[in-house]
Chain A
Amino acid sequence: ETGVTQTPRHLVMGMTNKKSLKCEQHLGHNAMYWYKQSAKKPLELMFVYNFKEQTENNSVPSRFSPECPNSSHLFLHLHTLQPEDSALYLCASSHKRGGLDEQYFGPGTRLTVT
């Protein structure tokens, strides 16, 4: 238990569906992150939020839409996804922005787009 929870743990959706992934951290951290992990590829950073403000959008397609209503919650809204978007989506948080502080990861949401 890392103090970062993600729901749902598994999600199957069609290409025309709209769904949302939720992340919550109970660590009092200021920064939150979304990562994508595809098979045999490194974790890819998607978005960074620091104090609820988006500070990084790593060239992510607009069919992925993040939302950070407060420092403890992070959402990833999904719409009109493609089969190649099937992956493990990981949320992480850290005490301060940047890579100089270790990030704590949630268990991930395994997404399958059919």
Chain B
Amino acid sequence: DQQVKQNSPSLSVQEGRISILNCDYTNSMFDYFLWYKKYPAEGPTFLISISSIKDKNEDGRFTVFLNKSAKHLSLHIVPSQPGDSAVYFCAASASGGNEKLTFGTGTRLTIIP
């Protein structure tokens, strides 16, 4: 049973437009969420995170929104740039003893010049 789901395996966005990547989770114990970015032949790199006490966290062009009632989070990238083309993984963890990061299957983002 997948506790973190990224239902869109791929997404194509025009350069300069907004990219929105979505993630849903089922475990209500999750209270910390992260987005990782992965280029081919490299390991995932940390992008941005959000704690469940917040509903938004912003870092430059990247903003993560958390909707706890819907168990949904999204990553917004604006404006999108060609270097943003990568696979994006959503991950979640629970602070109450469960130390594991649970990952989604990833969304491949392609930015079209």
Contact = CB atoms under 8 A, between A and B. Distances in A.
Contacts, number: 65
B99 A104 contact: no
Interface stretch (B36-44, B58-66, B69-77): B36-44
For chain A, the bracket of interface size reads 20 to 34
B3 to A, nearest CB: 9
B95 A98 contact: yes
B32 to A, nearest CB: 5
B46 A42 contact: no
Contacts of A55: 99
A102 B46 contact: yes
Given A43-B89, A97-B99, A102 B43 contact: no
B100 A105 contact: no
Interface string A70-114: 000000000000000000001010000111101111111000000
Contact of B43 (A2, A48, A97): A2
Interface of B: 2, 4, 32, 34, 36, 41-46, 49, 89, 91-95, 98-106
20 contacts: A2-B43, A2-B45, A4-B43, A42-B102, A43-B44, A43-B89, A43-B91, A48-B100, A55-B99, A56-B100, A58-B100, A90-B43, A99-B91, A99-B92, A99-B94, A100-B32, A103-B101, A105-B43, A105-B45, A107-B42
